[in-house]
Chains A and B, each alone.
Chain A
Amino acid sequence: MAATKTFLAAVAAAGLLVACSSDPDTSASTAGAGAGSGSGSVRPGSQEDLVANVGDRVFFDTALNGVRPDQRPVLQRQAAWLAQYPQNQVTVEGHADERGTREYNLALGQRRANSARDVLVASGVAGSRIQTISYGKDRPDALGSNEDAWARNRRAVTVVR
C-alpha cells in the first residue's frame, strides 16, 4: 500500500511538472524554441496559437484511458478554440509510455485518442473535423526512462491538419 501511495504521489508530482512544462518555450511540439511566447508573432488559429494559448495535449494515468477530470478543461478550451476557427481540421494523436508492449500500446494510444475526441465532440466539435491516430509507445515526447517522462508521454495531442 505504501508503495502504491508513493507511486501516486510521484504521478501527481509529474502532473505538476507537466503543467509547468507545457509552457510553449519548452513544449516539444512548438516549432522553434521561443516561437510564439504569447506575443503577437503567433498567427491566430495556428498550431502555435493552440499550443501557446489553449493547450494542445491532455495526459492520462497509467494504463487508464478515460480522460482525467483535471484534463477535461483543456479539451473544452480546445473545443471553444475550434468553434472560433471553424475551418480548422484536427488529428488527435494518442500515445503511451514505454512500459508496455508495442501492440497493446498501439491499441491503448488509439483508445486514448478516441476518448479525447469524444470529449471534443461532446463539447460541440463536429466529429467530421476530427481524425485520430495512435503511435503507441513509438513517438515519445519526453526521452527519459523515468516516472516524469512516462507521465508526459501518456498523452493525446491535438494537431491542426
Chain B
Amino acid sequence: MTLNVNRRSLLTAGAAAMVAPGIWTTPLPAAAQSGGQPTIVDITRARTEPIPIAIPDMAGSPLGAQISRVITNNLRNSGLFRPVDRQAFIQTTESAAATPRFQDWRVIGAVALVTGRVDGTGDRLRVEFRLWDILPEQQALGTAYNATGSNWRQIAHIISDDIYKRMLGETGYFNTRIAYIAETGPRDRRVRRLAIMDQDGENNRFLTDGQFQALTPRFHPDATRIAFMSYQRNEPRVYLFNLESGRQEVLGNFGGMTLSPRFSPDGRSVVLSAVRGGDANIFVVDMASRRERQLTSGGGLDVSPCFSPDGTQIVFNSDRGGDQQIYVMDAGGGGARRISFGNGRYATPVWSPRGDLIAFTRIARGQFAIGVMRPDGSGERILSEGWGMEGPTFAPNGRVLMFYRESASRDNRGSGYSARLSSIDIAGFNERQIVTPTDASDPSWSPLIS
C-alpha cells in the first residue's frame, strides 16, 4: 500500500528477503559473541517495568539520527520500553556502531543497545541495524535494509518491530497505519473527511475532500482498501476506498442506509448493518458477487458487527432486549446470545486479533468508558473512563487499543468541544493522545504492512 515504492532489489549479493514493498533485508553476522542467555522480558503480566534501552543516533548519513528518533519514539510510546537519556551516553555513536563497549552501556543502566549505520541517500539507502544484549554481551539481532530513501520512516518502523519482537517475544505493531475521520469546522456544520496516517501520526493524508460526510473507516486485512460510510448523493451508504488507485465506489445499493462495515478476516466479505423500515439488521455482502445475505431479523436495531479472527462468529450491538447490549452469534447467523451484563449500555464491540478479548464502549451513569471482556462476557475490565469516548480498535498484536475521546461543550455555542484519538495498553495503563492536525474520530488500526 506504500506509495513511491521501488520494487527492484537493490542488493548485489546475499540471501535477501523482501519485508515490505521496496525494502529488502540481509542478515548481518554477529560481530561479537560471548554466549549467555538472551534477554526476553515477559509482558504477559498486567504491567511490567519498562525495559531500559539505549538508542544512540545511527552513524553515517544524517538520516541515521532521524531513524533513531523514530525508533526511540515508537518504543517509548509503547510504554514497555524506557529509552535511556542520551546525555548519559559515554561511548560515541560512531564508535558504538563499530564495536560497543558493553561496560559503557551497562553502567548507565541499559539492558539493550541499538546501533546502526546509514549509507547512501535518495534512491539507494542502506541501513545496517544491530540490537545488542548488554548483560550477556552479545548481538541479538543484525539486519541490513536496502530501500529507496523515501522509505526511511518505514525502515525505522520495521526495526522497531524487530526490537519489540526480539525483546518481548511477540509481534509488534509499529509498521502500521491508522485510518480515521478528520473533523473540522463548527460542531453543527462539521466537515468530516477520510484520512490516513502512520501509527505514530506522521505522513498524514486526507483521502476525501469533505464535500460528503465520511464516517467509520475500517481496513481490509490486506491494508490496501478501506470500507467506510459516505453521504454521497445524500444517501448514506457503505463505500470502498482503494488506497492504491485513490478511487472509491459504493459497495452496493441494498435499499436504505447501510452502515458500520467490517471486513471478514479472509477479506472476501463485508459484514454491515442495514436499516429498512423500523429495524436495523446485520447483513454479510460477498465482495466478488456483491450479493447480500441477511443474518439477523426483526426486533430492534442491530449494528456494529465484527467477525472473530477465526471467522466463525460475529459480535454485534443490539437493543432487542430493550437497551444496547453486546451479543455473539454464529457467522452464518443464528445462535445469538447476550454477553454483556454489567451496569449500563454496551456498544461498539470489536474482537481482538488474538481472539481472546472483545473491546467495547460502555455508557453508564452519564460516563462513557472503554473496556474489554472475554468473548463469553466474563472478566470485564474498564480501561479508561470519561465524559465521552467510543470506537475502540485493536493494534494487530492485540496489545494496544486506540479510540476517540470527546470533551463536553462548556456553553451553548459548543465552546470547548473536541474529539481526539487516544491509545491505551490493554492492561489499562499508558493512555496517550495521538497528535493529529485536526479533530479526529473513528480510528481504524491497519494490519502489519508487509
Contact = CB atoms under 8 A, between A and B. Distances in A.
B303 A103 contact: yes
Contacts of A149: 409, 412
A5 to B, nearest CB: 17
Contact of B192 (A65, A100, A131, A138): A138
Given A114-B278, A133-B236, A103 B388 contact: no
B324 interface: yes
B188 A102 contact: no
Interface string A101-118: 111101110110011000
Nearest to B305: A103
A142 B186 CA distance: 12
Nearest to B256: A110
Contacts of A115: 278
Contacts of B187: 140, 143
A103 B304 contact: yes
A144 B409 contact: yes
A101 B412 contact: no
A101 B347 contact: yes
Interface in A17-57: 28
Classify chain A: how many residues form its interface, as a range: 20 to 34
B141 interface: no
B301 A102 contact: no
A140 B323 contact: no
A87 interface: no
B215 A102 contact: yes
Contacts of A102: 215-216, 390-391, 441-442
A134 B409 contact: no
Contacts of A131: 234
A68 interface: no
Contact of B301 (A98, A108, A139, A141): A108
B256 to A, nearest CB: 8
B273 interface: yes
Interface in B212-259: 213, 215-216, 229, 234-236, 256-257, 259
Contact of A143 (B235, B412, B442): B412
B86 interface: no
Given A63-B323, A133-B236, A111 B275 contact: yes
B303 A104 contact: yes
B259 A101 contact: no
Contacts of A98: 388, 406
Nearest to B406: A98
Nearest to A115: B278
B301 A133 contact: no
A128 interface: no
Most chain B C-beta atoms within 10 Å of own C-beta, residue among A28, A100, A138, A139: A138
A104 B301 contact: yes
Nearest to A142: B412
Given A102-B390, A140-B187, A110 B257 contact: yes
A88 B444 CA distance: 42
Nearest to A141: B188
Interface in A139-161: 139-145, 149
A99 interface: yes
Contact of A106 (B236, B279, B411, B441): B236
Contacts of B358: none
B14 interface: no
A76 B387 CA distance: 38
A115 to B, nearest CB: 7
Given A110-B275, A140-B187, A103 B317 contact: yes
Contacts of A103: 216, 259-260, 273, 303-304, 317, 347-348
Contacts of A111: 275, 278-280, 301
Given A63-B323, A110-B257, A133 B234 contact: yes
A143 B301 CA distance: 26
B41 interface: no
A151 to B, nearest CB: 13
A101 B361 contact: yes
B277 interface: yes
Nearest to B347: A101
B188 A139 contact: yes
Contacts of B388: 98
A32 to B, nearest CB: 16
Nearest to B387: A145
Contacts of B235: 133
B390 A101 contact: yes
Interface in B349-373: 361, 363, 366
Given A63-B323, A110-B257, A134-B257, A143 B304 contact: no
Contacts of B347: 100-101, 103-104
B414 interface: yes
A91 B235 CA distance: 11
A107 B275 contact: yes
Contact of A107 (B303, B408, B441): B303
Contacts of A100: 324, 345, 347, 363
Contacts of B345: 100
Interface in B58-104: none
7 contacts: A100-B347, A114-B278, A133-B234, A139-B188, A143-B412, A144-B414, A145-B387
Q: Which 8 A/B pairs are nearest by Cβ-Cβ distance?
A: A143-B414, A145-B408, A107-B280, A101-B347, A144-B412, A107-B301, A145-B409, A103-B260
Interface of A: 28, 63, 65, 91, 98-104, 106-108, 110-111, 114-115, 131, 133-134, 138-145, 149
